[in-house]
Chains A and B, each alone.
Chain A
Amino acid sequence: MRKFLGFCAVVGGGFCAAVLAQDAKKEIQRYQQMIAEGSPVELFELQGEELWKKPQGPNKVSLEKCDLGLGAGVVKGAYARLPRYFKDADRVMDLETRLLHCMVTLQGRKREETAARVFGSADRPSEMESLSAYIAAQSRGMKMAPGLSHPKEKEAYAMGRALYFHRAGAWDFSCASCHGEEGKRIRMQDLPVLYKPEHARPVVSTWPAYRVSTSQIVTLQWRMNNCYQQMRMPEPDFGSDTTVALILFLTATGKDAPYRGPGTKR
Chain B
Amino acid sequence: MKARVFYSLAFIASAAFAQDVTKVLQRDFHARGQATMDRVVQDGVQRVCTESRDRPPAELAKSLEADQMKTIAYPSGSLMGDWKRGESIAQNGRGLQWTDKPGAAAGGSCYNCHQLSPQEASFGTLGPSLRQFGKLRGNGQEIQRYVYGKIYNAKAYNLCSQMPRLGLSGTLTEEQIKDLVALLLDPDSPVNR
Contact = CB atoms under 8 A, between A and B. Distances in A.
Interface of A: 159, 162-163, 165-174, 176-178, 180-181, 183-189, 191, 228-230, 232-237, 240-243
B155 A172 contact: yes
B105 interface: no
B145 to A, nearest CB: 22
A235 B98 contact: yes
Greatest chain A CB density within 10 A among B27, B35, B41 is at B35
A167 B124 contact: no
A234 B155 contact: no
Given A159-B21, A162-B17, A232-B35, A170 B96 contact: yes
Nearest to B49: A167
Contacts of A168: 22, 25, 39-42, 46, 50
Given A187-B112, A187-B123, A237-B28, A172 B165 contact: yes
Given A168-B40, A172-B49, A187-B112, 12 more contacts: A168-B42, A170-B164, A172-B165, A178-B162, A185-B124, A186-B112, A186-B113, A187-B111, A189-B124, A232-B164, A234-B40, A235-B29
Interface residues of B, number: 45
Given A159-B21, A169-B40, A240 B28 contact: yes
B42 A187 contact: no
A251 to B, nearest CB: 19
Interface in B127-171: 155, 162, 164-165, 169-171
A184 B29 contact: no
Contacts of B30: 234-235, 237
13 contacts: A162-B17, A162-B20, A167-B49, A171-B169, A172-B45, A176-B54, A178-B162, A185-B126, A229-B35, A235-B29, A236-B29, A240-B28, A241-B27
Contacts of A234: 29-32, 35-37, 39-40, 98
A172 B17 CA distance: 18
Interface string B92-104: 0000111100000
A172 B164 contact: yes
Contact of B98 (A173, A183, A186, A229): A229
Contact of B164 (A171, A185, A189): A171
B124 A187 contact: yes
B155 A186 contact: no
Interface in B1-60: 17-18, 20-22, 24-25, 27-32, 35-37, 39-42, 45-46, 49-50, 53-54
A180 B170 CA distance: 26
Contacts of A191: 126
Given A172-B155, A229-B99, A235 B32 contact: yes
B28 A236 contact: yes
A41 B192 CA distance: 47
A33 B18 CA distance: 51
B122 interface: yes
B125 interface: yes
Contact of A169 (B18, B20, B21, B39): B39
A95 B41 CA distance: 29
